[in-house]
Amino acid sequence: MNLLYIALSSSTAYFLMKIFYKRSNYIYVSSVVACAVGFIAYFVFYNSQSHDFVTSLHFYVTSMSIVFLFITCYEVFLLEWRVNKVKSGEFVGLMPISIEKNYNTTFKLAGLGITFLSLALISGFYITDALSTEIQLKALFTSISWLIYFAILIGIKFFNLRTKYAVRGLVFTLMFLLIAYLGNSLIFSTIAWW
């Protein structure tokens, strides 16, 4: 559960920066602040536990992959909403930066998110010495999430994937990633309770 506290604190920092920092590079600044707050939150929530470097790295990059996937989903939903507003002729309250620039920046965030997710997979395989059923399911759902995420990025970059399909794919990616980390623990705690 501490992983979610780190992700929640980083996401909160991102959205607070987005509210208070109203410049065209808000995504970059907010992302750096989210990473820094996640790093600080890691030491707050895992301070009492001693881990080696790879295990610590795994916890941090896993929480950051959840954060950046959530942020990317939000920004893509926001972009889709802006595109629909422009198509209907409403220009009130739109952000000062262009939709195309925001689109490119958002998918740079998606690239950062898949980097964190890749590091989480690699470090997760490195730190597991025994392949229990719980770890196998977590690895399976995380791998599915990574494949969907990667296919979306390739589709956008090289095959001009439409935004509505990217949004759907990002939602599925987030769903599989949350199942890997939340649903997996919930399922096994329920089984242990019975």
Could you tell me if 57 and 123 are in contact, meaning their C-beta atoms sit under 8 angstroms apart? yes
Query: What are the distances in angstroms from CA 23 to CA 17, 18, 19, 111?
Result: 11, 9, 10, 22
Selected residue with higher pLDDT from 182 and 132: 182
Contacts of 72 (CB under 8 A, 6+ apart): 106, 107, 109, 110, 113, 170
Cα gap 30→148, rounded to integer Å: 25
Distances (CA, A) of 97 to 26, 79, 103, 107, 110: 10, 11, 10, 15, 19
Query: How confident is the model over 21-37, as a mean pLDDT?
Result: 84
Between 81 and 132, residue with greater pLDDT: 81
- Whether 156 contacts 114, CB under 8 Å: no
13 Cβ contact partners less than 8 Å away, ≥ 6 residues apart: 30, 33, 34, 36, 37, 38
Q: Which pLDDT tens digit goes with each residue over 100-153?
A: 777 777 778 888 888 998 998 888 878 776 556 667 777 888 888 889 888 988
Question: In the prediction, which pLDDT does 188 show?
Answer: 55
- The reported pLDDT for the residue numbered 136 is 74
pTM, two decimals, is: 0.79
- Is residue 95 over pLDDT 60? no
Task: Summarize the confidence of residues 29-33 as an average pLDDT.
Answer: 88
pLDDT digits 0-9 by tens, 159-176? 888 777 887 888 888 888
Cβ-in-10-Å burial (0-12, 13-18, 19+) of 184 comes to buried
